[in-house]
Amino acid sequence: MLSNTNKNLLLLYIVITWTLLSILSAVFVNINIFIFGLLLNLIASITLNKSLEKLLLFQKVFFVNLLIVTFVYCVSIYQFDSPYYKGGSDDLSYELDAHEVVDQTGFFNYEDIRGNVVPKYHNSVGYIYAVSLIVRSSQLIGEFHTLLPRILNGFFMGLISVLAYNISNKYLKLSNKHSMILAYIIGYFPILCYTAAYTFRDIMLVYIIMSTFYLWSQHKSYNFISKLSIIIITAIFIFISLELRAVVAYYLIIIPFLFIFKFNKLNIRSLSQILIVLLILYTLFYEKFIVFFNNTYNRYSEYLVTGADGLSNLIFNMSLLPFGIFFRAAYAFITPFPNLEYIESFWLSIGTIFQILFLPYLIIAYLNKRHFELKVIFVLIFISIITTTFTFRHIVMYLPFGLLLIGKVYFESKKNTKKLILVISYTVFTFTFTLYSIMKYL
């Protein structure tokens, strides 16, 4: 229940959010910016109206992410004379392909995208189609603007922060205060916000993974209809993920099993049935998985080596086994590495420093036996990222789960323990920063 002060604060954030949207709409002479942002804001307000506390959380995170979208847009224009990542990356390709979808196919001709607009093996057709829906709708009363899918990402960031609160409060059993702090940390975390500021699919995927995790973490307390709804929602998420980024579908398949094992006592017959199903799946998909993994690993390793220097080049040139995977894991915790080259690099560095200083809490989380499901999902996504793509924006898929584990241990630690960990972390950070800086420019 919100106090009168917080109700006024909620109203204030709604007003300044709409004001910012109207300013952006006026500056870029595009009414769709205001209408689209307003529509998303209204959807959140209707969805979260039973909890004004969560609505305030959403509103703050949504507003801050809109500011960051504006900031990143302006910085990109200044640095690259283009609003796209480094002047034009996958974000530009997604938007160009989306426009081509609108020009060449009908609203219901999804299957025509593969082979016509993009190659048949393209792994992001679902996201291109999603952006094309924004393009189509914007053309009804004006024209498309690149800020529209970025505003959608800001909307998802607000929902992700609410999910983080729910998971912290109901699954991790943290207090309302600590759950809210953790939710804001995730909602404002630099690399998450930075990724959301471009037309990338990753923030949408984070929302899907976290939603699935939260729903199944609470399924034991639901009635039959609610449990059936969760199964249907999960199936829809799996279908969507296959078209957004296929590997995410594997995460979503594993999550239900983790909680079924947790809440149900399995007898020999049940275990035998599960093993048979897993064996069948293994037989059907093993070869495809190996081919997919090898192709992805080789393709991204070449890409990473091309853009790497110093220590980065050494790590990505190293064979994955037996030691390469450990170096990649260590490198992941200091990525993106702190530097002052650009304004946004300094901002991203704050998040990386946070990761390094609080890393001991993540290690401690794995030394206890609690929250097995959360730890499995974090490790699963973490390993799949560091052994294949390892691009900066894919890091965001495992990051919220790591932050949740860190938050749980931190808020339960004693004051003296926190001081000791801070000293150790600061020492390790100083040593790591010095060593990396030397090796980077060798």
Tens digit of pLDDT for each residue in 301-311?
A: 554 445 555 55
51-65, 164-178, 292-306, 342-356: the lowest-pLDDT one = 292-306
Per cent of the chain over pLDDT 70 is 82
Average pLDDT of the chain is 85
Per residue in 194-205, pLDDT (tens digit) is 999 999 999 999
- Whether 53 has a pLDDT exceeding 80, the answer reads yes
Q: Over range 100-122, report the average pLDDT.
A: 86
Per residue in 222-278, pLDDT (tens digit) is 888 888 999 999 999 999 999 999 889 989 999 998 888 877 765 556 556 666 666
127-131, 158-162, 352-356: the lowest-pLDDT one = 352-356
- Whether 215 has a pLDDT exceeding 60, the answer reads yes
What backbone torsions phi and psi does residue 118 show, to the nearest 5 degrees?
-130, 160
Q: Over range 161-174, report the average pLDDT.
A: 97
- 268-276: long-range contacts, CB 8 A cutoff, minimum separation 24: none
- 378-384: long-range contacts, CB 8 A cutoff, minimum separation 24: 378/402, 378/405, 380/251, 380/254, 381/209, 381/251, 382/329, 382/332, 383/325, 384/247
- Say if residues 36 and 27 touch (Cβ distance below 8 Å): no
* Residue 132 pLDDT level (bands cut at 50, 70, 90): very high
Domain chopping of the chain, boundaries: 307-440
The pLDDT assigned to 305 comes to 46
The pLDDT assigned to 108 comes to 76
> Length of the chain in residues, anyone?
442
The pLDDT assigned to 267 comes to 58
- Whether 119 has a pLDDT exceeding 60, the answer reads yes
